[in-house]
Amino acid sequence: MSRTAWMWVVVVLTTTAIATTFLFTPRFPVPVPDAGPPLTPFAWSAERTLAAGDGIRGARDGAGTQARFDDPWGIVVMEDGTRYVADAGDNNRIRRIAPDGTVATLAGGVEGFADGTGMAAAFNTPSALARDLDDNLYVADTGNHAIRRITPQGVVTTVAGTGEPGYRDGPGAQAQFNGPVGIAVDGRGRIVVADTYNDRIRIIGRDGQVTTLAGGDAPGFLDGTGSDARFDTPTAVAVDATGIVWVADLRNDAIRRIEPHGGVSTLPLRPDTDTTMGPRRPLALALTHEGHLYVGELYTGRVMQVMRDGRWHVLAGHLPGQRLSRPAGLAVDAAGRVHFTDAGSHRVHRLAPLTAGAAPTASPVGPSPDDPLPDTAGRWPLAPQDGWHEVVGTLGEVRGDYEGESRHHLHGGLDIRGDVGATVLAITDGKVSSPSAAWGFDGLGEGLGVGALDYIHMRVGRTPRGDLLDPARFQLLHDLSGDPSRIRVRRGTRFAAGDPLGTVNRMAHVHLSIGPSGYERNAIGLGFTGFTDAYPPRIDEVALFDTLDQPIDAKQDGRIVVPRALQGVRIVVEAWDQVDRNLPRRRLGLYTLGYQVLHDDGTPVAGYEAPRMNIDFQRLPSDDAVQVAYAPGSGITVHGSAVTRFRYSVTNTVRDGMWAEGTWQPDTLPPGDYLLRVSARDHSGNEAQGRRDLKLRLP
């Protein structure tokens, strides 16, 4: 063969090889790990177990399940099973969980900015943690706008940051960050920082020099290289074996990928299914040894497995009664188990593969019901804070959707009437935990979360004219057209009782809610100066229906005849409440309802020695429960009903965040005359008296 022919053969073969690479190499190739643990299967079944924290906010070392955390965020795990946790809130310390579960404090303990050893050091809202090959820990010290290092001996030093917010590259001691929340260490020992409120990804080299890898001078959503790319509130970073930086781009609902040269792309995720949505508001990230992702979500309270090809699977937090409040930090151990913090529940958990055919073991989840409510000293969120204000809505009331559905969702929290434009005031001291604490800009549902409390239906941080109340704490962002687009409040921002938070919007009331989503508690329990309630609830009707929603109303001798052959009976109670000094037209929902079956002489039937209080609004369930708690015909005037009506299905169960449909089974009783008695109470303990009895005959 001639030399020219050989050259053409080489060209053809080379071209074919290159084309094959493009055709068959996945868009985001999986790094090939060294020999080690087996590959992580997709969609594995996880069993969650509690590692530490009793669910009560506090600072207590000791045995794991008796220890207390405040705002546990970042987590790393060592080869021997030791875990380190950044505990923010009022604790501002780094905790150590030994392999046997014992919790101790490694460093910190007061809010401040000081290097030193152990408790002589001070942090301000420590968030993510990372480690290097020498077992040094690195802390994203959010409130100090700094990156800190902790040696295995507990010696704390500052790697970069001045303690003041800003944006400046250069030597560590002069560089500036703006509320960094995420941190990782790559294979070369460089520190990668999610500089959250600068909307950039920064690098701290081994020589201490700070540079910007990607991101520009404003939040946005744009792929590109270096400063041409845009992020919006990045909160977590992880670096794989090939040097790719993965980013949890919180407000863009996206997982981003940064090449070593700074090229940014977005991981295309599989679409939502009919029953499950994909990742939303990604907050935390961790990598498996072969480069796949685990993601913790901010609002939906789930831990998810996300593959590099965009497939995703929910591992935890999606089942009824198993919701996580804020999975803020994730770490993977050498055996592939996932360790994570649940910041809003003050707990640390572990996910491990569930043995095939086995049922998951019950393990505590969510904040403890014994977690004390904030001490508000009876303050109202409006001036005068020690005066009286009208309560116009309570937790658990039915709400519609303005589109004809009168039973669309359940009302959370407590509504307090206020004049449009009135200043909303903090009712207790609090610290912002969420990296995205304000929402709904210029909408009716605009609000702000401070500590365990949410203040809703206000112009956050703004006067009625739109001027900022406090530019140091409220940052007004603008869109590309220069128009105001939203308010940003940094994680770690503090407010004192009485501080202005915003002004009442067109809803003409302040909505107060307490507790993380999925574990919201009845805010009336906070107590408010001058609030009294001596009015018992009023029952307008007690009605019976069969399982096809047909009324059971035939009477004999003044008694409702209930055929014993029915498959089940639904009991519906129409009732409402008022509190002292309410306007006469005001109707409020009830706190708890139930029923009791009595013999005709008034003595309880066996099994009904006490009322079955099936509906209880101490804790708000999911909106999926609204049509379980409320029967057809329920609704409020704001959403189109002619009159506010609360029609409770008291044979269904809605309590402790759970819900289930149910019926009364008359076939369990012998024929005869009976009395059905309804119990209906408000939060003050007043019980309805009139119209609560229904005479029955079972033929």
- 8 A C-beta contact, residue 293 and residue 238: yes
| CATH superfamily label, 391-526 | Glucose Permease (Domain IIA) (2.70.70.10)
Q: What's the residue count for the chain?
A: 699
Mean pLDDT of 168-196: 98
Kindly report which listed range (25-39, 60-74, 222-236) carries the lowest average pLDDT score: 25-39
pLDDT tens column, 403-430: 889 999 999 999 999 999 999 999 999 9
What is d(CA 341, CA 330) in angstroms, rounded to the nearest whole number? Answer: 7
DSSP 595-626: EEEEETTSPBPTT-SS-EEEEE-SB---GGGH
Residue 7's pLDDT band (cuts 50, 70, 90): very low
17: pLDDT strictly greater than 60: no
Cα(123)–Cα(121) distance, integer angstroms: 7
Read out DSSP for 452-463? TEEEESEEETB-
For the chain, what is the largest distance between any 2 Cα atoms, rounded to a whole number of angstroms?
114
* 332: nearest Cα among 79, 102, 95, 128: 79
Q: What's the pLDDT score for residue 319?
A: 87
Residue among 203, 266, 237, 200 at smallest CA distance from 330: 237
Question: Residue 17, SS3?
Answer: helix
Q: Which residue has the tokens 């309560």?
A: 391
Q: Which CATH architecture has domain 49-160?
A: 6 Propeller (2.120)
Residue 86 pLDDT: 98
- Contacts for 621 with CB less than 8 Å, ≥ 6 apart: 410, 629, 654, 657, 658, 659
d(CA 439, CA 337): 34
Residue 258 sits at the vertex; the CA angle it makes with 253 and 262, to the nearest 5 degrees, is 130
SS (H, E, C) 202-267: EEECCCCEEEEEECCCCCCCECEEHHHCECCCEEEEEECCCCCEEEEEHHHCEEEEECCCCEEEEC
pLDDT of residue 1: 45
CATH of domain 538-698: 2.70.50
Closest CA to 265 of 273, 281, 280, 254: 254
How confident is the model over 448-475, as a mean pLDDT?
98
How sure is the predictor about 13, in pLDDT bands with cuts at 50, 70 and 90? very low
Is the pLDDT reported for residue 75 higher than 60?
yes
Give rounded-to-5 percent helix, strand, coil for the chain.
Answer: 10, 40, 55
Average pLDDT in the chain? 93
Closest CA relative to residue 343, chosen from 672, 69, 6: 69
Q: What is the DSSP letter of 176?
A: B
Q: How far apart are CA 1 and CA 21, in angstroms?
A: 28
Q: What integer pLDDT is reported at residue 10 of this predicted model?
A: 41
Nearest-angstrom CA–CA distance, 291 and 434:
28
> DSSP state, 28?
S
List the domain boundaries for the chain: 49-160, 391-526, 538-698
pLDDT score of 190 more than 50: yes
Residue 208 CB partners (closer than 8 Å, separation 6+): 159, 160, 171, 172, 173
Helices (H), 632-686: none
Q: 49-160 and 391-526 share one CATH topology?
A: no
> Tokens 């081994």 sit at which residue?
206
Q: Which residue has the higher pLDDT, 170 or 355?
A: 170
Q: What per-residue confidence (pLDDT) applies to 30?
A: 54
Are 641 and 416 a contacting pair, CB within 8 Å? no
| Average pLDDT of the segment spanning 279-285 | 96
Decide: 360 and 369 in contact? Cβ < 8 Å: no
Distance CA 244, CA 214 (A): 13
* 375 φ/ψ angles, rounded to the nearest 5 degrees: -85, 105
| Of 98-112, 248-262, 450-464, 628-642, minimum mean pLDDT range | 628-642
Q: pLDDT tens across 302-348, in order?
A: 999 999 999 999 999 998 889 999 999 999 999 999 999 999 999 99
SS3 524: helix
The stretch 496-516 carries a mean pLDDT of 97
User: 319 CB contacts (<8 Å, ≥6 apart)?
Assistant: none
Instruction: Give the model's pLDDT for residue 126.
Output: 98
Q: What is the pTM of this model?
A: 0.93
Helices and strands of the chain, counted as H and E runs: 2, 53
Burial 16-38 (b: 16+ CB within 10 A, else e): eeeeeeeeeeeebebeeeeeeee
